[in-house]
Amino acid sequence: MTKKLELYRCNICGNLVEVILPGDGELVCCGEAMEHLKAKLNDAESNEKHVPVFIVNEQGKNEIRVGSTPHPMEESHYITFIETISPDYNRAELQYLHPGEEAKMIIGEKLGKTLAREFCNIHGLWEGQSD
């Protein structure tokens, strides 16, 4: 049984799927069951480059940055997206990123303890939460 907003990856072709409406069936791609991704929460071994961090930027806007140390955004190593999820899981916003861009996302008003997650093309799924 899947749950709303879970992420699954095909370990053969790399497809990444987010559940919009949960169901009882198994998610399959390339003839094999897809891997349910579980976000990592602690980044001490990677010099704090993956856990999403909530800040108020110089312009007074709410912003999510990937890591307290900026994450590389190179062709071979970059953040593919940042997503925010409301506490009740009824609202999500996703921003795709590309090599050469900054690993950050400007957001509107935080709705309680907002969850942020990001996906690194090498190191996988990470998440952090606002205060």
Three-state DSSP class for 63?
strand
Specify the DSSP class assigned to residue 35.
E
Query: Same domain for 107 and 52?
Result: yes
Same domain, residue pair 28 and 60: no
User: In the prediction, which pLDDT does 67 show?
Assistant: 87
pLDDT (tens digit per residue) in 85-105 = 999 999 999 999 999 999 999
In this prediction the pTM is: 0.91
Picking from 71, 63, 51, 69, the residue whose alpha carbon sits closest to that of residue 127 is 51
Whether 1 is covered by a domain: the verdict is: no
The range of the structural domain enclosing residue 104 comes to: 44-129
- 14-72 residue pLDDT tens: 999 999 999 999 999 999 999 999 999 876 655 468 999 999 889 988 999 998 888 99
Least confident of 48-52, 107-111, 115-119: 107-111
pLDDT value at position 69?
A: 86
Indicate if 89 and 30 belong to the same structural domain: no
Other beta carbons less than 10 A from residue 58's beta carbon: 7
CB 119 within 8 A of CB 103: no
Report the alpha-carbon distance of residue 10 to residue 28 in Å, rounded.
Answer: 8
Tell me which amino acid residue 10 is. C
